[in-house]
Amino acid sequence: MTSTFQDGLHAAIIMDGNGRWATARGLPRIAGHRRGAESVRRAVEAAPSLGIGVLTLYAFSEDNWRRPPREVSALMRLLSRYLIDECDRLIANGVRLQAIGRRDRLSAPLVSLLETVERKTAHGKKLLLRIAIDYSSRQAILDAARNLKSVDEDALSQALGPDVDLLIRTSGEQRLSDFLLWECAYAEMIFTPRMWPDFSKADLAAAVEEYHRRDRRFGAVSAAQSA
């Protein structure tokens, strides 16, 4: 039987440190974001071989609108360029793209581009790539609850998306920053000082290896402890 993304881990990454990476090198912040886009490509290409079936990337939070307008505009252009440049590669590699977050505050051309790439990649089965844009987990939970006829744990989980197995945050920060709060209830978390532009396939592989070393008990005790 051919495996699909539903058989793999759900890894989520808070891609942090692009601006600081650039500033430390005397470069404009957008240069760090451009290098960060290369790290996205590396992670997406490496994920299926590491047993990752769903990869959710925090690209732009609701709070990021507070950044200088010039930087926000540059980030939106960079996202558009990524979608244009990577669409054929995603299709060839069996990657399905799905955007999560609000769309009403994005430009009409960007929304149209997102919808086009989602449609063209809809048959991808090796990896589900979820890009969080204008995303707030608190808002997502509120919206999901408001749209449900009957609110219970299973229904809310179904509305929000798959539980996260492995959460990675780069740049040394150790917080979730309103990212997948419900879905990360039992996630194994790894915080690395590596800045996102420097994050490599080896770093992703090391995080997955660390995940597999951990004893996930979900509130119970291990077999060895109960013996």
pLDDT for 219: 67
Eight-state DSSP code of residue 82: H
Residue 38 tokens read as: 């290369």
Closest CA to 197 of 25, 53, 72: 25
Residues in Cβ contact with 121 at an 8 Å cutoff, skipping those fewer than 6 apart: 87, 90, 91, 95, 96, 97
Q: Alpha-carbon distance 163 to 65, whole Å?
A: 27
Per DSSP, the three-state class of 50 is: helix
**8 burial type by CB count under 10 A (0-12 exposed, 13-18 middle, 19+ buried):** buried
Paired sense of beta strands 52-61 and 127-135, if any: parallel
215 classed as catalytic: no
Catalytic annotation, pick one of 7, 16, 147, 215: 16
Length of the chain: 227
pLDDT for 3: 47
- CATH number assigned to the domain with residue range 5-212, chosen from the 4 options 3.40.1180.10, 2.40.30.10, 3.40.50.720, 3.90.1150.10: 3.40.1180.10
* Cβ atoms of residues 125 and 141 within 8 Å: no
Residue type, 178: D
Q: Alpha-carbon distance 1 to 75, whole Å?
A: 41
Q: What is the pLDDT of residues 97-122, one digit of tens each?
A: 999 999 999 999 999 999 999 999 99
Q: What is the pLDDT of residues 144-173, one digit of tens each?
A: 999 999 889 999 999 999 999 999 999 999
Q: Alpha-carbon distance 128 to 54, whole Å?
A: 5
pLDDT for 216: 75
pLDDT for 174: 97
Per DSSP, the three-state class of 61 is: strand
Catalytic annotation, pick one of 7, 18, 63, 64: 64
pLDDT for 225: 59
pLDDT for 217: 72
Query: How are strands ordered across the β-sheet holding 188-191?
Result: 95-100, 127-135, 52-61, 9-14, 166-169, 188-191
Q: Alpha-carbon distance 135 to 111, whole Å?
A: 14
16 classed as catalytic: yes
Q: What is the pLDDT of residues 40-75, one digit of tens each?
A: 999 999 999 999 999 999 999 999 999 999 999 999
Q: Let me know the angle formed at the C-alpha of 34 by 5 and 53, rounded to the nearest 5 degrees.
A: 5
**What Rg value do the Cα atoms of the chain yield, rounded?**
18
Q: Alpha-carbon distance 227 to 219, whole Å?
A: 17
